[in-house]
Amino acid sequence: MAGLICAEAAFSHNERVVGGTEAEPHSWKYQVSLQAHGTGDSYYHICGGTLVESFHVMTAAHCVSVDGKYRVVLGEHDLYKDGGTEQIVDVEKVIIHPGWTGALGNGNDIALLKLADSIYDNGFVELAALPYAEHILPHNYTCYITGWGLLGGESGEPDRLQVAPSNVVEYSICSQPEWWGIYAQESMVCVGGDGIIAACQGDSGGPLSCKTEEGDDALWRVHGVASYAPQGMCNQVNKPTVYTRVSHFIDWIYDTIMPPEEE
> Is residue 5 very low, low, confident or very high in pLDDT (cuts 50, 70, 90)?
very low
0.75 cut: is pTM over it? yes
> Quick one: pLDDT at residue 10?
39
pLDDT exceeds cutoff 70 at 7: no
Domain span at 115: 29-127+252-257
Q: Mind giving me the DSSP string for the chain?
A: ----S-TTT-EEE-B--BS-EEPPTTSSTTEEEEEEE-STT-EEEEEEEEEEETTEEEE-GGG--TT--EEEEES-SBTTS--S--EEEEEEEEEE-TT--S-GGG----EEEEESS-----SS--PPB-PPTT--PPTT-EEEEEEE--TTTTS----BEEEEEEEEE-HHHHTSTTTTGGG--TTEEEE--BSS-B--BT-TT-EEEEEEEETTEEEEEEEEEEEEEESSSS-BBTB-EEEEEGGGGHHHHHHHHSPPPP-
Q: How confident is the model at residue 130 (pLDDT cuts 50, 70, 90)?
A: very high
> CB under 8 Å to 80, separation ≥6 — which residues?
158, 159
Higher pLDDT, 233 or 31: 31
What is the domain-level CATH number for residue 107? 2.40.10.10
User: 55 near 95, Cβ under 8 Å?
Assistant: no
Who wins on pLDDT, 259 or 12?
259
Q: Which active-site residues does the annotation give? A: 62, 109, 204
Q: Is residue 151 part of a domain?
A: no
Residue 86 lies in a domain: yes
Q: Is residue 150 part of a domain?
A: no
The fraction of the chain above a pLDDT of 70, given in percent, is: 87
Higher pLDDT, residue 137 or 200: 137
Residue 8 lies in a domain: no
Asked whether residue 149 carries a pLDDT value surpassing 70, the answer given is: no
In a domain, 177, yes or no: no
Task: Considering only residues 198 and 243, tell me which one the structure prediction assigns the higher pLDDT.
Answer: 243
Classify residue 118: in a domain, yes or no.
yes
**To the nearest 10°, the Cα dihedral for 10, 17, 204, 252?**
-110
Domain annotation covers residue 46:
yes
Structural domain tally of the chain?
Answer: 1
pLDDT digits (tens, 9 = 90+) for 193-238: 888 788 877 789 999 999 987 766 789 999 999 999 887 777 788 9
Reported as a single tens digit per residue, the pLDDT across 183-193 is 999 999 999 98
pLDDT, average across residues 90-110: 97
